[in-house]
Structure 1
Amino acid sequence: MIEKKMIEALINFYNHSFTIIDKDEKLIYWSDRASEIFNLKHEDVIGKDIKEVFSEDQLLILESLRENKSFEKKRHKATPDIYVDIKAEPITVDGEVLGAVVSEVDVTSQIKKEKEMEALKSKVDILSDNVKHLNNDNHFKNIIYKSSIMENLKNQIEKAAHTDANILITGETGVGKELFAQAIHKTSGLRGDLIPLNCGAIPNELFESELFGYDRGAFTGANKEGNKGKIELAEDGTLFLDEIGEMPLDMQVKFLRILQERKYFKLGGKKEMTTNFRLVSATNKKITELLSSENFRSDLLYRINVINIHIPPLRERPDDIESLFYYYLFQLSDKYNTDLMYADQELLRQIREYEWPGNARELINVVERLVIFSNGSTLDNDIFHQYLQEVGQSHNIPAYSVPAGDIELKEYVDRLEADYIRQVIENNDHNIEKSAAVLGISRPTLYSKIKKFKL
């Protein structure tokens, strides 16, 4: 009796869980720590078939008993809150297997510390990226990048900016073409201002007055003093025409004359004016698309496209996605006066792998949503998943990645299988017959897997 008590005291002295089964797979020993981890009392488990207590596919101790072999599993998720390292050994006497024992070492605190270190590293990355850009050349301070592609683009801009050649910036919607126009203007050293005009936002009937300005009495309702146009305001500076592909066709002829002769008349004006400005244009259309269009003059395109600055989309420069993510996270946390939250590796992986059709404009909106709706110290991955479903892109993100910790192949395959079955069932509105047909299995087999994976 004393020996038994001493053994139990020794077992419970360490913060390890121990479970023993006999050759009939019945539980004959259940340590105090096992009771704490699984919230099951001794009287609830002793004498029972272990398969009645736990799902068979989760029991390493059974494999050890049946195969007479030792098994180990690292960082097994025993409960939603507890991770353990498992070791199972058969119990043999004179070559006969009489049972098996499994020990479980709680490694939750170790994993928690690693995650805290990961969170700290994430915050250091955010701060270092922001310090880098705060110390960056003032002309490019608002252009956040890490990739060599963007570094080469910056060098190209610096060369082009010191000339008076017309520049056409091309790139998809949301890549930040206006930021690059600002960088070109600042780098050029021109003493005039940068004057922007979005050609797609001005009604055709007002376009001429916006661009050229008008004299007093030019039309009914006109300002009595007349009005300066964008060309006049851009004197000795930069005229930035965004969405130039949307410029009305009749205006293209007039604007081409200005570029050729540097002279124009205001609307309703009789005095010919001279002008001196640097032209930077932008479009989200491809140059080949403009050349083949009946709504854009090729001679104007040749005139404005002396130098082409093409900004690649985010999907072609994944190194910049994380830098931009951290930058926006820092800025928006400050805007909403919230603590800087941690992005785990799975969220960062999915953000890097998403194609971002809306580019930086889309990314900043997603980060803003994450900051507003996440709670605690960690950004909520489900918020990003919900966004992907809203835009119909959830199927474009690989659902699986190599686990951070050690994990047996069987457990990883089970995870993949469970996730795929869940996805198929959801895609078929929980219709078991349809889901089974898609999976190529029978309905009873699908029901069995639903029970096995607790779907």
Structure 2
Amino acid sequence: MFLHSKKLLAKDIMSKEFLIANENYRVNELIRAMLKENIEEVFIVDKKNKLIGFVRFIDIVKMIGENLNQDIPIKKYIDDAISVDKTTSLLVCKDIMLENRIRKLPVIENGEIIGVIKKDEVLNYLYTNLKKSQAKLNHILDSIHEALCVIDKEGQVVFWNEKSEKLYDVSSKEIVGRHMKDFFPDAMILKVLKSRQAVKNVYHMPKKDYHIIINVEPIWIDGEFSGAVSTDRDISEVKKMSSELQKANETLQYLEEEMKRVMGDQLGEIIGKSEKIRKKIETARQIAATEASILLTGESGTGKEVFARYIHDHSDRKGLFIPINCSAIPNELFESEFFGYEKGAFTGANNMGKIGLFELAEDGTIFLDEIGDLPLSMQAKLLRVLQEKQIKRVGGNKYIPINARVISATNVDLKKLVEEKKFRQDLYYRINVVEINLPPLREREGDIPLLIDSFLKELCKKNKKNILGIEPEVLKILENYHWEGNIRELKNTIENLVVLCRQDTITIDLIPKYIINRVGEKRFMGENSLDLNKSIKKFEVDMIRKALELANGNKVKAAKLLNIPRTTLYYKLESYKIECR
């Protein structure tokens, strides 16, 4: 989950630094051992190394003060030890330690102590994750469309988002920590504070031409009243809700299908059976579980983001996949987008600050597409982050550790950019631990029909079309086309055919003329003759034969492919002595 850290167990945080002693240890021997190791507690085990209790240094000091015999076995003075096994959750460990007022909690496996949970380390971990969750939560609350206000049971404002600032002309800095009645004495949320009853869909006009619907809910935590939360929505937005909701549902359905296609658990999520693409898929699966930085290269439209998502999904990372198009971010915003910023970092900055994309990708993958467009100044900062595994927000003075795998992609020659001093050589080697060069579509023999079939199903559903198939001659033409734009161009072409198709089958006449012309030019391009008449004749003969081949000998369809009348085709067939098979 976005706001939840992965469940941490005792084995994940336990320390190996602890002292054990046999139950027959003499008191004076134990004192010397504890002084030498500077340890306040010793865990006592029996002859079979099973934990039976513990002794604290302070107890030994009391024992010495009472002039008790120090040359007797320590087992006479031990206390029972509370313990947990290695699969106990961190939160349960924390509760046990607080309830029993202990600072160290032994972790047991088969009766033997294998580690110790320390109270200070538990609290530090929980505090760090609480701060991260708070930053993410603030980012979400500031991004929602409604004006949001939260007050405590005393009436003091504890949260006031950006929409509230714009709606009521009061900044978060002014109002948070102050009593609500000092700013809005008649606010609906104050009435709920007294009645402790929810208020729904109340009309409100805070200022001229602003028509607002308010909902207020009391906040109850474990049966105790803790305050109230209000959400205010501009009523003019509600008018658009029905059509927008329908659009959102359709979009969501499409996205769900897209997610299944590119983020599934099956190898088929990357469509292709050609040897070249299968080798790339095998490499991607092999390195997915590693921590290596990956550089995806290849022509535009070859599916680099799909491969990046595939690698992320087949890794052990539990965080988000965050794609970033480096060419789409203005130079002056790179640092704040990548690393976030603290409140007041610059003019126009969010008063609560903002979490950066690297933090959002914690325990996940950050995909830097078109990394060749990254400015040199940002390249140096990115290199430092990759080396030190930590970032510092704009306007901040504290370094934040990050754990995000970086996958980069480019359709340009980075080595050439390095030679031209436009890309840092050290960054190039840092992001290019493993390079996967994706083949262009024209080199993926046998993959075009598979891609066409997949795109046809997807785009028919998207455009609400019921197309059953595609004519064989159409498929032949598409297979013979060069596809300079690769998979992206192929998908756009299929969508063009789907949108224009009025029947249940895609036919030759729907194919764009530039594709037919380019397919027909293939044979002609290799000619060396300078005799114009001969070249024109040969070109016409080759074009007619190619059209007849694609149309399976059907002269009517061949004439359509050639964009000439049937009578003209018949004339040329007779003139050039071309036989139809």
- TM class by shorter chain equals 0.5 to 0.7
User: For 1:146-197, what per-residue CA distance to the aligned partner results, in whole angstroms no more than 9, with x for missing partners?
Assistant: 2122211111011111110100011111111111111100101201111111
User: Secondary structure in 2 aligned to 1:328?
Assistant: helix
Q: Does 1:290 align with 2:290?
A: no
CA distance in 2, matches of 1:352, 1:162: 36
The structure 2 residue matched to 1:232, chosen from 359, 370, 377, is 359
The structure 2 residue matched to 1:279, chosen from 406, 410, 426, is 406
CA distance in 2, matches of 1:269, 1:288: 35
What's 1:148 paired with? 275
Q: Deviation at 1:334? A: 2.1
Q: Deviation at 1:235? A: 1.1
The structure 2 residue matched to 1:334, chosen from 451, 457, 461, is 461
CA distance in 2, matches of 1:230, 1:363: 32
Q: Does 1:192 align with 2:355?
A: no
Q: Is the 8 A contact 2:262 2:270 kept in 1?
A: no
Aligned in 2, Cα 1:401/1:165: closer, same or farther, shift over 3 Å? same
Q: Deviation at 1:295? A: 1.4
Q: Deviation at 1:286? A: 2.7
CA distance in 2, matches of 1:422, 1:136: 47
The one-letter code matched in structure 2 to 1:206 is L
For these two proteins, the number of residue pairs brought into alignment is: 294
User: For 1:88-112, what per-residue CA distance to the aligned partner results, in whole angstroms no more than 9, with x for missing partners?
Assistant: xxxxxxxxxxxxxxxxxxxxxxxxx
CA distance in 2, matches of 1:237, 1:135: 17
Q: Does 1:252 align with 2:379?
A: yes
Unaligned stretches of 5+ in structure 1? Answer: 1-129, 427-447
CA distance in 1, matches of 2:262, 2:519: 38
The structure 1 residue matched to 2:287, chosen from 146, 153, 160, is 160
What's 2:346 paired with? 219
The structure 1 residue matched to 2:303, chosen from 176, 186, 189, is 176
CA distance in 2, matches of 1:406, 1:313: 29
Q: Deviation at 1:394? A: 5.7
Q: Is the 8 A contact 1:139 1:186 kept in 2?
A: no
The structure 1 residue matched to 2:438, chosen from 303, 311, 330, is 311
Q: Is the 8 A contact 2:498 2:506 kept in 1?
A: yes
Q: Is the 8 A contact 1:139 1:187 kept in 2?
A: no
CA distance in 1, matches of 2:408, 2:458: 29
The one-letter code matched in structure 1 to 2:378 is M
CA distance in 1, matches of 2:342, 2:288: 33
CA distance in 2, matches of 1:181, 1:153: 12
User: For 1:306-352, what per-residue CA distance to the aligned partner results, in whole angstroms no more than 9, with x for missing partners?
Assistant: 00111111011031111000111111122223222332221111101
User: Secondary structure in 1 aligned to 2:346?
Assistant: coil
What's 1:99 paired with? none
The one-letter code matched in structure 2 to 1:343 is I
Q: Deviation at 1:395? A: 4.9
Q: Deviation at 1:385? A: 3.3
User: Secondary structure in 2 aligned to 1:245?
Assistant: helix
What's 1:324 paired with? 451
Q: Deviation at 1:137? A: 6.1
User: Secondary structure in 2 aligned to 1:239?
Assistant: strand
User: Secondary structure in 1 aligned to 2:348?
Assistant: coil
CA distance in 2, matches of 1:263, 1:334: 45
Aligned in 2, Cα 1:405/1:296: closer, same or farther, shift over 3 Å? closer
CA distance in 2, matches of 1:196, 1:406: 46
CA distance in 2, matches of 1:146, 1:134: 16
User: Secondary structure in 1 aligned to 2:336?
Assistant: helix
TM-score of the superposed pair, with normalisation by structure 1: 0.58
The one-letter code matched in structure 1 to 2:388 is E
Aligned in 2, Cα 1:404/1:353: closer, same or farther, shift over 3 Å? closer
The one-letter code matched in structure 1 to 2:305 is E
What's 1:365 paired with? 492
User: For 1:27-81, what per-residue CA distance to the aligned partner results, in whole angstroms no more than 9, with x for missing partners?
Assistant: xxxxxxxxxxxxxxxxxxxxxxxxxxxxxxxxxxxxxxxxxxxxxxxxxxxxxxx
CA distance in 1, matches of 2:276, 2:433: 21
Aligned in 2, Cα 1:253/1:135: closer, same or farther, shift over 3 Å? closer
User: Secondary structure in 2 aligned to 1:241?
Assistant: strand
The one-letter code matched in structure 1 to 2:434 is I
**Higher RCO (C-alpha 8 Å, min separation 6):** 1
Q: Deviation at 1:421? A: 11
Q: Is the 8 A contact 2:509 2:561 kept in 1?
A: no
Q: Is the 8 A contact 1:290 1:298 kept in 2?
A: no
CA distance in 1, matches of 2:472, 2:306: 30
Aligned in 2, Cα 1:243/1:135: closer, same or farther, shift over 3 Å? closer
CA distance in 2, matches of 1:185, 1:290: 28
| Structure of larger gyration radius | 2
What's 1:378 paired with? 505
**1:5-84 matches, cutoff 5 A:** none
Q: Deviation at 1:451? A: 10
What's 1:110 paired with? none
Q: Deviation at 1:265? A: 1.4
User: Secondary structure in 2 aligned to 1:264?
Assistant: strand
CA distance in 1, matches of 2:430, 2:263: 33
CA distance in 2, matches of 1:406, 1:207: 56
What's 1:243 paired with? 370
User: Secondary structure in 1 aligned to 2:290?
Assistant: coil
User: Secondary structure in 2 aligned to 1:240?
Assistant: strand
**1:344-359 matches, cutoff 5 A:** 344-359=471-486
